[in-house]
Amino acid sequence: MKNIFQTCLFIILVSLTLVSNVFAENMKKMGSMQVHYMAINATFLTPKVAKAYDIERSRFNGLINISVLDDTKPSTPAKAVTIQGKARNDIGQIKTLEFDEVKEGDAIYYLAQVNYTNEETFYFDITISDGKETHQLKFKQKFYVD
């Protein structure tokens, strides 16, 4: 049963990544790392997938998904890293992001949640380290309540 949920989450995350790439490339090359990232409304997940990964599925909850690929190892590109981050809104409120690591076969995802109000913009500042390299990922996302 867990494999079905993992497969569903993987398909959803890949689909959302492809859809988001229509609007903007959500990948940054940082040293030997390719960092893929997105921030979406948690209601894009099905209730079963959200429950399986303990994600609060709410129209006021965003999901941040980060995956890191290793350019130096094409046969096993997923890279285990340490991720810490904060999200700041337009009025200066700061929220600490708690990332959970999800492994699905050879894939590794780091998921965090952030609560928001309608049309709230967050500026994300995320530190990614593999023990050899440390990089800062910065991006912004405007969330809408649907």
pLDDT at 132 over 90: yes
Structure pTM? 0.81
- Asked whether residue 117 carries a pLDDT value surpassing 90, the answer given is yes
pLDDT of residue 85: 98
Q: What dotted CATH number matches 2-143?
A: 2.60.40.3340
Distance CA 98, CA 127 (A): 12
Give the percent of the chain with pLDDT over 90. Answer: 73
Helices (H), ranges, the chain = 2-23, 47-52
Domain residue extents for the chain: 2-143
Q: Check whether 7 has a pLDDT greater than 60.
A: no
- Mean pLDDT for the stretch of residues 79-102: 97
Q: What is the pLDDT of residue 23?
A: 41
Contacts of 1 (CB under 8 A, 6+ apart): none
pLDDT (average), residues 103-131: 95
For 28-87, how does the pLDDT look when each residue is reduced to its tens digit (9 = 90+)?
999 999 999 999 999 999 999 899 989 999 999 999 999 999 988 877 689 999 999 999
